[in-house]
Amino acid sequence: MKSRYNLLLRNGRLLPVKFRPLGALRQGFLTSLCLLLAGALPGAALEPASLPPAPNLLILISIDGFRWDYLERYPAPVLQKLAAQGVRAERMNPAFPSKTFPNHYTLVTGLYPSHHGIVSNWFFDPALQETFGMSKPESNANPRWWGGEPIWITAEKQGVRSACFFWPGSETTSHGLRPSYYKPFNGKLPSNDRVDGLLAWLDLPAGQRPQLATLYFDIVDHAGHTFGPDAPETQAAVAAVDAAVDRLLTGLTARGIREHTNLVIVADHGMAACGPDKIIFLEDLMDTATVQVESLGPNGGVRPKTGTAAELVASIRAKKPAHVQVYLREEVPADLHYRDNPRIPPVMLIADDHWNIESRVGWSFRSRTYSRGSHGWDPATSDMGALFLAQGPAFRQGVLLKAFDNIHVYNLLCAALSLQPATNDGDDRLVRAVLAK
């Protein structure tokens, strides 16, 4: 459901902008203009003097691949304490496909992937005749791929300074704007360095300091893929990210701003066990020479080079393949909200939970190091559920929420910052359930 509910703004009027908003009227005074280059970091100070009072800070933290039940299965005392003190969901349902880039961007726009345009980690755009790739610098930096309005742009439009220490979509302009500070993704940067980089931004003078920040950790996702969700290595990754969150809280306390900080901690998707013994080969379903293969894995997609999509779907269905469903794009189940974008392949293949669609090309080599965990399946499956918790002065205490879809998180972020949200696919259910007032 489209929604655009009204909220009072508390951070002053919107300033004229050339390249990015450089400040706003707060509490009757003009804040200092920030002349730092985007992404420039001063040296991190772990124990500075307490900072002067400022409006409540909101930090949105993503723990990639943190399945909804890891919080109970594995020791994570810091996250568990935050969950007990604030609001926690039984599980948060990702959007389809339950992959990293589509869901990170859904979380910050409130739009389904078919509406914001990032329909997978890798996809082909027939109008551009080009392929988007999550690890391609051009894809991350070019605004033509990214629709919707992410939370940091909503904030900047309304005079709230933002900072993104990694987040899909934060490296490009949107509506002609950028976050005040951002860092291009560097997967080799250790978790503690990411925390210290964010804390360094909070050491800036009050007029330059962000009020909204994002922080991204990927070690749990990497462990889940390599070793599987039930492996001791994944448990160790959960412990490591828990320690990184503790480092952040310690830094906030040292700066005297912990009690003024709201935390929203999410995951983009869960993780399911898989392996080379549960494979559906594309070559068993079709003549791959007659199609353009656009995605494989828990879900796959192809564009016919000859014939029609309907003819290809009929021929696959005639084979009655096991462990996979085949759809025309317009036939994809309505509850997946994955039909109305030409970037979605005309023929979609959705595997059963734990099964993957692969090609025989190079399989003998790839099978020896095949992932023991993955994601991308139907969000309704148990293993795809994601973490959600919120803690801080803006949020209620000791609340356990029923499962909900992640399209509603954007409106909650806006409400916590007293921002008017852009039009989106969510509603105000989280605002009513989570906010203290």
Per residue in 380-402, pLDDT (tens digit) is 999 999 999 999 999 999 999 99
Residue 4 domain-assigned (yes or no): no
Question: Can you read off the two tokens belonging to residue 332?
Answer: 């994809």
Question: Can you read off the two tokens belonging to residue 408?
Answer: 């509603």
Q: Are residues 101 and 77 in the same domain?
A: yes
Residue 17 domain-assigned (yes or no): no
Q: Are residues 239 and 310 in the same domain?
A: no
Residue 399 domain-assigned (yes or no): yes
Q: Are residues 284 and 331 in the same domain?
A: yes
Q: Are residues 242 and 137 in the same domain?
A: yes
In sequence order, the β-bridge partners of residue 279 are: 356
Residue 15 domain-assigned (yes or no): no
The count of structural domains within the chain is 2
pLDDT tens string 211-245: 999 999 999 999 999 999 999 999 999 999 999 99
Q: Are residues 284 and 244 in the same domain?
A: no
**55 pLDDT more than 70:** no
Of the residues 342, 370, 398, which one is the last residue of a structural domain?
A: 370
Residue 27 domain-assigned (yes or no): no
Q: Are residues 330 and 400 in the same domain?
A: no
- Residues 97 and 122: beta-carbon distance below 8 Å: no
Q: Are residues 217 and 148 in the same domain?
A: yes
More confident call, 284 vs 36: 284
Residue 318 domain-assigned (yes or no): yes
- Residues 82 and 263: beta-carbon distance below 8 Å: yes
- The CATH number of residue 399's host domain is 3.40.720.10
- The CATH number of residue 325's host domain is 3.30.1360.180
Q: Are residues 335 and 223 in the same domain?
A: no
Of the residues 370, 405, 424, which one is the last residue of a structural domain?
A: 370
Question: What's the average model confidence in pLDDT over 112-131?
Answer: 98
Helix (H, G, I), strand (E, B) or coil at 371: coil
Residue 437: predicted pLDDT: 82
pLDDT band for 6, please (50, 70, 90 cuts): very low
CA-based angle 133:134:137, to the nearest 5? 80
Q: Are residues 135 and 257 in the same domain?
A: yes
Q: Are residues 180 and 79 in the same domain?
A: yes
Range of the domain at 325: 279-370
Enzyme catalytic residues:
100
Reply yes or no: is the peptide bond before residue 97 cis, omega within 30 of 0: yes
Q: Are residues 300 and 403 in the same domain?
A: no
Of the residues 370, 388, 412, which one is the last residue of a structural domain?
A: 370
Nearest C-alpha neighbor of 264 from the set 4, 60, 24: 60
- DSSP string for residues in 189-258: S-HHHHHHHHHHHHTS-TTTS-SEEEEEE-HHHHHHHHH-TTSHHHHHHHHHHHHHHHHHHHHHHHTT-G
Cα separation, 434 vs 394, whole angstroms? 8
Pairing of strands 162-165, 181-182: parallel
pLDDT band for 49, please (50, 70, 90 cuts): very low
- What is the chain's mean pLDDT, rounded? 90
Q: First-to-last CA distance in the chain?
A: 24
Residue 46: predicted pLDDT: 36
Q: Are residues 292 and 229 in the same domain?
A: no
Cα separation, 13 vs 123, whole angstroms? 39
Residue 10 domain-assigned (yes or no): no
Residue 32 domain-assigned (yes or no): no
Question: What's the average model confidence in pLDDT over 281-293?
Answer: 98
Cα separation, 336 vs 272, whole angstroms? 19
Portion of the chain with pLDDT greater than 70, in percent: 87
Question: What's the average model confidence in pLDDT over 26-54?
Answer: 35
Task: Name residue, tokens 């795809």.
Answer: 384
